[in-house]
Amino acid sequence: MSQRISRECPIRLMKARFVDEMVPLMRSPAQLIFCLLLTTTGGCGPADRSATKGTQPRLVLLYATCTLGNHFLSPYNPNVKYTPNLERFATRATVFEKHRTEAGLSGVAFASIFTGTQAVHHGIFTHPAPLSDDLYDISEAFSDNGYETYWWNKHAMCNKSLNYGQGVTESRHFNGMLGAEHPELAKVLERLSTNKTKKAFLLTNFTVTHGPYRLDALEGFCRRFPEECRILDELAPGEFDKYYNLYRRQYHPLRYDFPNARKLLKLTDQDIRKLSDVLELVFKSNIWKLDRLFGNLIARIKRAGMMNDALIIFTSDHGETLYREHAPFKWCHGTALQSDVLNVPLIIQTPDPAIRPGRYSQVTRSTDVFPTVAALAELSLPKKVAWTGLDLSGVLKGQAEPPSLLAYSHSSMVSPAFRVKDVGAYRLSFYPDRDMSLTWVAVRDKDTVVKYKNQGEGRFDFEAYDLRADQAEAHNLYDPTNEHHRELADQLKQYKATLVDAYHLWLEQGNSENIDEEDTRKRLKSLGYIN
């Protein structure tokens, strides 16, 4: 596939196009204001496309998992050996090397994936929060095109009760994992195999790799990959249990108020190193478990004879910061803007012979998933769909130049449900107040990331990192005299202002977190978000 880089459209032209084309489509005053606010971010506007001639894939699987950064996967990191199924899958697919999520918050990130829009449009700034009926999501698009739509869901932040998966009926929504031998999956595959007119869209949304990390896969992982488990030989008897149980007991404060938690728990540098090693080992074992689940599912699709007629997308909402020295939050995703959190996998396998397996080296965003998948599946859609992401199908087919995109991301939890946690006799505050102006923002192009971060006492400063030489983001290179840095910083200020304005509008309209539903509460608790 072509890897040529085209010039990005001037922001003025992008703004004009966005306003001219998108404003007439808004179905509510809120959407109109969101649309107008979006023009400050350089969004790429809506699509205008009907189905092209061809053959639609009869099976579409969007495998969207949780808390999985791409550097823990072999298609992105050649040193990784414990994701063989994903590695095999990637050899027949397109690997998007610089895929970026909008936020380290599951509710925000999945809303962006499912609607193809940024938070300032879809209105999810915190989680859990309900998704508006006015939005057109990916499951609706497939349902409108005659696909049977199914959702296997185990995530509290974007479940059916919060209006995610709007094109999926109650009878086809399952609160659990999509296993290879799931009886409903067997029925779907049988119908597809015996009736050539049937089409199905399967959406998954799991939490296998979400903290608090579980031990159920560790024993098998260490038998299979003993080199990954050498840390166990370096620990004294009982130390593994000591550090793992410390993490489980102090999950919130260690994640979100690490400096204070370390001080109050009297953790030494050696304690931190051992704790980090233990957690990374357990986390890797859970990734291995996820890889096996995915591999079994792919094998089941092959046995049903559907692989050559399947469009399969593997992605994640966000990654995790597993104790990085220069990360302000050591075991975290929601409040972090580290590359560990924001760089996530996107791997797409399509039956289209015009798309050859390979690697796409330009920046892509979570908002690009829906428009690209819709085009690859040749969906007939409303005349104009209010996406802020881009359809990249033409690039993959060699019919268009790869655009030079900017990927915007933001941090911060603003839900009052997550504010305090006891550490012995102490009470720690680890989330910012409900003030979106305190949020951190970042923008990345191909090799540079610029951040606008709170340095304390309400003072925000810019940071810049060269991702080619400094993946850990340890060396701040920001120079206000550097034209490139200055341009990205200006874009970032506009983005943050837009984000804050849209959030205030969202509050004024009476929106609030919907966590009263019993099942949602249970699932939030299972993920460690509430007590």
Mean pLDDT over residues 160-183, rounded? 89
- In a domain, residue 267? The reply is no
Mean pLDDT over residues 424-447, rounded? 70
Q: Which of 152, 101, 104 is nearest to 344 (CA)?
A: 101
pLDDT bucket at 434, cuts 50 / 70 / 90: low
Contact yes or no for 168/151 (Cβ under 8 A): yes
Q: What percent of the chain has pLDDT over 90?
A: 57
pLDDT tens sequence across 343-352: 999 999 999 9
pLDDT tens sequence across 267-295: 999 999 999 999 999 999 999 999 999 99
Q: Pairing between strand 321-322 and 460-466? A: unpaired
Q: Provide the H-helix boundaries in 104-256.
A: 106-115, 119-122, 138-144, 183-194, 218-224, 231-234, 239-249, 251-256
Does position 50 have pLDDT exceeding 70, yes or no? no
**Residue 312 forms beta bridges with which residues?**
61, 349
pLDDT at 527: 55
The span from the CA of 313 to the CA of 97, in Å, is 14
- The alpha carbons of the chain give a radius of gyration, in whole angstroms, of 22
Does position 37 have pLDDT exceeding 50, yes or no? no
- In a domain, residue 262? The reply is no
Q: Which of 471, 466, 464 is nearest to 446 (CA)?
A: 466
For tokens 């697919």, the residue is 93
**Residue 61 forms beta bridges with which residues?**
202, 312
Question: 36 versus 98: which is more confidently predicted?
Answer: 98
Question: Which is it for the CA torsion 475, 481, 484, 487, positive or negative?
Answer: positive
SS3 356: coil
Q: What does pTM read for this prediction?
A: 0.86
- In a domain, residue 76? The reply is yes
pLDDT at 41: 38
Residue 451 phi, psi (nearest 5): -125, 150
The span from the CA of 232 to the CA of 141, in Å, is 49
**Residue 423 forms beta bridges with which residues?**
426
- In a domain, residue 53? The reply is yes
- In a domain, residue 289? The reply is yes
Average pLDDT score over the chain: 83
- In a domain, residue 25? The reply is yes
Cα-to-chain-centroid distance, residue 280: 20
Does position 422 have pLDDT exceeding 80, yes or no? no
Q: What percent of the chain has pLDDT over 70?
A: 81
Does position 42 have pLDDT exceeding 50, yes or no? no
For residue 353, whether the previous peptide bond is cis, meaning omega lies within 30 degrees of 0, is no
pLDDT bucket at 449, cuts 50 / 70 / 90: very high
Q: State which residues form the domain around 60.
A: 11-212+280-409
pLDDT bucket at 522, cuts 50 / 70 / 90: low
Q: Tally the domains of the chain.
A: 1
CA dihedral 499, 505, 510, 514 (to 10 degrees): -10
- In a domain, residue 237? The reply is no
pLDDT at 6: 29
The CATH number of the domain where 21 resides is what? 3.40.720.10
Contact yes or no for 229/281 (Cβ under 8 A): yes
271 CB neighbour count, 10 Å cutoff: 16
pLDDT bucket at 519, cuts 50 / 70 / 90: low
Does position 29 have pLDDT exceeding 60, yes or no? no
Does position 5 have pLDDT exceeding 50, yes or no? no
The span from the CA of 429 to the CA of 407, in Å, is 30
Q: Pairing between strand 407-410 and 420-423? A: unpaired
Does position 417 have pLDDT exceeding 80, yes or no? no
pLDDT at 412: 65
- In a domain, residue 221? The reply is no
Does position 43 have pLDDT exceeding 90, yes or no? no
